[in-house]
């Protein structure tokens, strides 16, 4: 069996990596992390080279998060708006490529925080499939894969379950498209985390370990043994990344509804979270 990598999202520390705080990469490497989720939206293209160089020097694998912002509507009835969202995603794919990133993931099959007040229509589902298919074909030229992330009902009405995302993946039918499972969202929407993880065997290309309150993994009530047993049973060998939002920047806070401190500090979340994920990965022979 392969070996998982333990990662951490940059949002634990900052919403934007710049020359000034680039040492955050050295810091996470020092704790023991092998990988980091980078916010593609907030990374300047001109800075990509510097960021990539530092990561490569440290041996830190980068992955790219880039949920659609509210202004980019992939499932809008307006064709112009859909085209604009597709164009935006292609730009993020290019950015991922420049950063040496092979997986671009997030809530990308629709726009988080945009609701119609109704269940999704067949037409909207079709727009999502059509849009992702186009971006996936484009991304394949750059060796980039797309990870569709599970998202709970308060962030989107399009798809909320692993089962629904698997149906969407089948419709998209592109080899470089898979799932990003996230325990925070799944804890809200799935009946059984173990069964859900196993149902996505061979389709999961990234994994977010989030506590039920999005604080330090291991301090809440996510059934972590079920989660890690699931990962073991599907032979998962990619990145397991801690995602949390200690940084309080407005754009992140409003989308994720984080209004209070989730851990004493970013440092304690990173260190204690790493120790816990490492311990669980060892227990289930993922490392």
Decide if 194 contacts 226 (C-beta within 8 A): yes
Residue 243 lies near Mn ion (rule: CB under 5 A): yes
Catalytic residues: 149, 243
- What is the C-alpha to C-alpha distance for residues 13 and 37, in angstroms, rounded to an integer? 11
Residue 102 lies near Mn ion (rule: CB under 5 A): no
Please, which residue, 82 or 238, has the CB nearer to Mn ion? 238
- What is the C-alpha to C-alpha distance for residues 214 and 183, in angstroms, rounded to an integer? 9
Burial zone of 249 (CB within 10 Å; 0-12 exposed, 13-18 middle, 19+ buried): middle
Residue 54 lies near Mn ion (rule: CB under 5 A): no
Q: In 3D, which of 179, 209, 183 has the Cα closest to residue 194?
A: 183
Quick one: which segment of 123-131, 158-166, 191-199, 243-251 binds Mn ion (CB under 5 A)? 243-251
Cβ of residue 112: shortest distance to Mn ion, in angstroms?
A: 11
Residue 208 lies near Mn ion (rule: CB under 5 A): yes
CB burial of 75-109 (b: ≥16 within 10 Å; e: otherwise) equals: bbeeeebbebbbebbeebbbbbbbbbbbbbbbbbb
Count the alpha carbons within 13 Å of 151 in the hemisphere toward its beta carbon: 23
- In the region spanning residues 129 to 158, those forming contacts with Mn ion, defined by CB under 5 A, are none
Please, which residue, 67 or 176, has the CB nearer to Mn ion? 67
- What is the C-alpha to C-alpha distance for residues 20 and 22, in angstroms, rounded to an integer? 6
- What is the C-alpha to C-alpha distance for residues 287 and 279, in angstroms, rounded to an integer? 10
Please, which residue, 124 or 149, has the CB nearer to Mn ion? 149
Residue 124 lies near Mn ion (rule: CB under 5 A): no
Cβ of residue 202: shortest distance to Mn ion, in angstroms?
A: 20
3-class secondary-structure state, position 184 = helix
Cβ of residue 153: shortest distance to Mn ion, in angstroms?
A: 15
- In the region spanning residues 177 to 206, those forming contacts with Mn ion, defined by CB under 5 A, are 182
Cβ of residue 204: shortest distance to Mn ion, in angstroms?
A: 13
Cβ of residue 65: shortest distance to Mn ion, in angstroms?
A: 8
Q: Where along the sequence are the contacts to Mn ion (CB under 5 A)?
A: 182, 208, 243
């Amino acid at each position: 069996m392969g070996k998982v990598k333990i990662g951490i999202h940059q949002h634990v520390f900052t919403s934007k990596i710049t020359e000034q705080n680039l040492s955050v990469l050295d810091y996470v490497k020092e704790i023991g992390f092998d990988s980091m989720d980078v916010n593609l939206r907030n990374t300047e293209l001109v800075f990509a080279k510097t960021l990539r160089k530092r990561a490569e020097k440290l041996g830190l694998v980068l992955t790219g998060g880039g949920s659609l912002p509210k202004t980019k509507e992939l499932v809008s009835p307006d064709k112009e708006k859909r085209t604009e969202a597709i164009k935006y995603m292609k730009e993020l794919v290019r950015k991922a490529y420049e950063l040496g990133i092979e997986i671009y993931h997030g809530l990308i099959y629709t726009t988080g925080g945009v609701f119609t007040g109704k269940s999704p229509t067949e037409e909207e589902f079709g727009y999502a499939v059509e849009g992702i298919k186009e971006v996936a074909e484009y991304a394949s030229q750059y060796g980039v894969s797309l990870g569709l992330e599970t998202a709970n009902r308060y962030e989107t009405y399009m798809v909320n379950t692993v089962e629904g995302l698997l149906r969407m993946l089948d419709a998209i039918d592109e080899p470089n498209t898979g799932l990003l499972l996230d325990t925070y969202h799944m804890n809200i929407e799935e009946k059984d985390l173990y069964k859900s993880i196993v149902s996505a065997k061979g389709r999961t290309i990234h994994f977010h370990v989030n506590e039920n309150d999005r604080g330090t993994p291991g301090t809440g009530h996510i059934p972590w043994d079920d989660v890690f047993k699931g990962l073991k049973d599907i032979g998962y060998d990619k990145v397991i990344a801690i995602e949390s939002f200690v940084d309080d920047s407005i754009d992140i806070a409003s989308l994720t509804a984080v209004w209070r401190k989730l851990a004493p500090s970013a440092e304690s979340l990173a260190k204690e979270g790493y120790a816990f994920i490492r311990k669980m990965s060892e227990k289930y022979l993922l490392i």
